[in-house]
Amino acid sequence: MADYKAPLRDMRFVLNEVFEVAKLWAQLPALAETVDAETVEAILEEAGKVTAKSIAPLSRGGDEEGCRWDNGAVFTPAGFPQAYQTYAEGGWVGVGGDPAFGGMGMPKAVSAQVEEMINSSSLAFGLYPMLTAGACVSINTHASEELKATYLPNMYSGVWAGSMCLTEPHAGTDLGIIRTKAEPQVDGSYKVTGTKIFITGGEHDLTENIIHLVLAKLPDAPAGPKGISLFLVPKFMVNADGSLGARNPVSCGSIEHKMGIQASATCVMNFDEAVGYLIGEPNKGLAAMFTMMNYERLGVGIQGLASGERSYQNAVEYARDRLQSRSPTGPKAKDKVADPIIVHPDVRRMLLTMKASNEGGRAFSTYVAMQLDTAKFSEDATTRERADGLVALLTPVAKAFLTDLGLETTVHGQQVFGGHGYIREWGQEQLVRDVRITQIYEGTNGIQALDLVGRKIVGNGGAYYKLFAEEIRHFIKTADAGLAEFTQPLGAALDNLDDLTAWVLERARTNPDEIGAASVEYLQAFGYTTYAYMWALMAKAALGKESQETFYASKMGTARFYFARLLPRIHSLTASVKAGSESLFLLDAEQF
């Protein structure tokens, strides 16, 4: 496996040249006071070093060893506690955290790059700080000032960790039928009782305390999702002076034996009248938890991108070194017995597909992060409202499309290796196993597609979609003539997506099955069109600079590949959507 190297040049390109983030931050007073170019550059450089040197070397060994459960205690693989301490001491857990409680206060557009680096170095390791950061977002947004002051400083510093405890053995995605109960106590606390499954980082040996965010129902709660409340339940109680007290009756009943992410503890958690504290309002817990879940959904999308980047780096190194056969146009390495496989058209197809997907995904995840920053920090209500609409529309696309392409990209990387890609010591098969979960957790990609079409398209009559489409159309209209090779196919793709969106809106009025039937292929067509917009933006930033640096020539070549070979996928996806729902119901249940 190649040594991991953070793609800092491309990150700088996306932040500084494509999106010119400094201009956005200057318009947001809360960020203008805390963010400057020198600080951001130092953060990217240092994050690249710590992930490459301290964490990436643990990835394969962590996969081989996995986590170990022993009588309720969970032990992470060798080197993980020390690496986590190094990571925490650098302030990385709180890179996007509120400075009032010890966080760095960096915008999401910056922390997204750090997330990519940590997940490329080891997806399993990256889950621990990711869950903590997400829990902090929910606490900081919805909890009382007392709870914030008690818990956030130690969570941002990495001394304590966080988890989110949602689903239960019988519930799956249908959280409205959870059974975990919370009984109010005279001191204002609650006794939480129930069992939660698939809890990432529910128990481990990386931190001295773990703060669980738990969905539960009050005794008088209404049925369904409207009766869910959110509670903060610490592993160890916290004394008035901030020191740790008695163990709360929270225990790990077992850990799951999984396809991948072996070094991440996926726990069954039992709460036996554990002391908890209400976050937000009673029966409003799902909304509070969605604050964390939406943060995590973009984060999971970035995991797909990160896995694809690691796979690409491995595959490129292998393709340059591996000798096999001769180029179809004649020998290239005449002094060797065969040519490097990078000369072969099919290998180039796979490598360019990986490169185009990764770089498009990096631009897209950064774009969504910028909308999050705008929605959070803008002082203009209209600007915030528009950004909120774009975040709502694009979050399911970011989660699902980035992870779908993440699996495709890791499989391409494995295929470049041939037989060696199926063997453990080369690392590619681990990436395939690890990234597979990203399409499943935080709401399966099918659920994300239903959210996009059902809630974000049909649910508001296409209003969010119009915001995004109008932005793309404005870009096309104002682009220089030199970008026509990109803006013309982008315009055609947008026209197609407009037509497809109108088709879905119309059909959904008379047939409820059309939403579910169309959703996955519609999201994919939306994703490829969105990436075309990202690639047109990147081409604009690189055009005319090809002679200055090889980087720009590579960027332009990859852009042309994307429009020539990947964007046309929208046509088959469109045909699938417009085939309608009828063929899905031709068989009775017993005929399957």
Complete DSSP assignment for 183-222: EE-TTS-EEEEEEEEEEETSS-SSSSEEEEEEEEB-TTPP
Q: Give the span between the Cα atoms of 540 and 230, in whole angstroms.
A: 46
Given the residues 115, 442, 514, 521, the one annotated as active site: 442
Distance CA 206, CA 229 (A): 28
Amino acid at residue number 553: A
**The two structure tokens encoding residue 203:** 């128990």
- DSSP per position, 412-456: HHHHHHGGGGGSGGGSHHHHHHHHGGGGTSSS-HHHHHHIIIIII
**Residue with the two structure tokens 């002076």:** 241
Strands 160-165 and 209-216: parallel
Cα Rg for the chain, rounded, in angstroms? 24
Half-sphere exposure of 81 (CA within 13 A, CB side): 10
The residue ranges of DSSP E strands in 256-400, in sequence order, are 266-279
What are 210's two structure tokens? Answer: 């773990």
Q: What letter represents residue 504's amino acid?
A: V
**442 part of the active site:** yes
* Dist CA 457 CA 531 (whole Å): 19
The single residue listed with the structure tokens 């750090």 is 114
Catalytic residues: 442
